[in-house]
Structure 1
Amino acid sequence: MALKPDDAGTDDERTVLQFLDMWKARDVEGMLAAFTDDASYIDMPLPPRRGLAEIRTYIEALFTAFGVEIETLHIASNGPVIFTERVDYLTLNDGSRPPVPLPVTGVMEMRDGKIAVWRDYLDLGTAEAGLGLKIRSDAEPEAGA
């Protein structure tokens, strides 16, 4: 059963769950508002995106190719560090393939109620094979993976 913001045990957990819910709506402005100005976002094994401009560029590039709906299975925190176990469902915008379930473990470091560092650990090959796209390090999805 997917967790919702009301299931959070702390304010930081609630912020993270609200942020993850924004992906389905493609609420880029809401997502960016959840980050500190100097935040970093890292989808392992891709290089980090540092600062709001790079994070925006990456998220917007992803949304040009596919949508994301996130099912959060578990959440835990240790002080300002939030851990999530999730399944991210990736769906091509043209609907040409079924949604790709992508298991993800995320770690978010919070500062003053905002995300300062976000690291997601995932198998990029699973996403690329399911979508038929190559997700390059410069954030531009490319057909034909």
Structure 2
Amino acid sequence: MTCSPEEAVRGLWRTVAARDFDAFGDWLTDDCVYVDMPVGLALAARGPVDIAKRVSIGLAGLAAYENHDGLLVADGDAVMYEHSETWTFTSGETFVLPFATVHRVRDGKVSLWKDYWDFGAIMNHAPAWWVESLASADTSWVYDATGLI
């Protein structure tokens, strides 16, 4: 049975909250595109495996992560989700990052995932060691979505 667009988005975010990167394929189409809009379309990821790699760069090494459910609005296959995340770093720093996320859903799975958030908020709150670790992160997931979205 195919789930509704709202159910697909909520299922995806339960999976993100659990940091169950192996289960992303349960909620994402094989050709799903993920974009952190503040960093641009040239640094998108495509497909569940690469999207999991991309998302894990930020979340896997945290001491704790919590997604705070918020407003979800659906219009056919388009779903907008306003939420926030609490990031707790292994060195003790904690901050809350507000998000607005836009999804497109096809056949019960998310086919487009665009996150809108404040890049400055991360840079102002994340510890220097975490920011520095981004320079050596796995970038095998990089997909240039310019012209696609």
Same fold, TM exceeding 0.5?
Answer: yes
Using the TM superposition, give the Cα deviation of residue 22 of structure 1 relative to its aligned residue in structure 2, in angstroms: 1.9
User: Pairwise CA RMSD of aligned residues?
Assistant: 2.4
Task: Report how many residues are paired.
Answer: 130
- Match for residue 110 of structure 1? 105
Segments of 5+ residues of structure 2 without an aligned counterpart are 139-149
Q: Does 1:36 align with 2:32?
A: no
> Where is the strand percentage greater, Structure 1 or Structure 2?
1
Whole-Å separation in 2 of the counterparts to 1:11 and 1:102 = 27
- Post-superposition Cα deviations, 1:57-108, rounded to whole Å, max 9, x if no partner, equal 212322343243111210001110000111111121x15212x111100000
Match of 2:57 in 1: 61
Q: Give the TM-score, by structure 2 length.
A: 0.76
CA distance in structure 1 between the partners assigned to 2:123 and 2:137 by the alignment: 13
Instruction: Give the structure, 1 or 2, with the largest relative contact order (CA under 8 Å, sep 6 or more).
Output: 2
Q: Name the % identity.
A: 24
- Contact 1:23 1:69 (8 Å CA) reproduced: no
* Aligned structure 1 segments of 4 or more residues deviating by more than 6 angstroms: 135-139
TM-score normalised to structure 1 length: 0.77
* Closer/same/farther in 2, CA of residues 73 and 36 from structure 1, 3 Å limit: same
Q: What is the CA-CA distance between 1:30 and the residue it aligns to?
A: 1.9
Shift in Å at residue 136 of structure 1? 8.3
Q: Give 1:46-85 correspondences, 5 Å limit.
A: 46=39, 47-66=43-62, 67-85=64-82
Inter-CA distance 25–119: structure 2 relative to 1 (3 Å threshold): same
Gaps of 5+ in 1: 1-9
Three-state SS of the structure 2 residue aligned to 1:134 is helix
Letter in 2 for 1:20: W
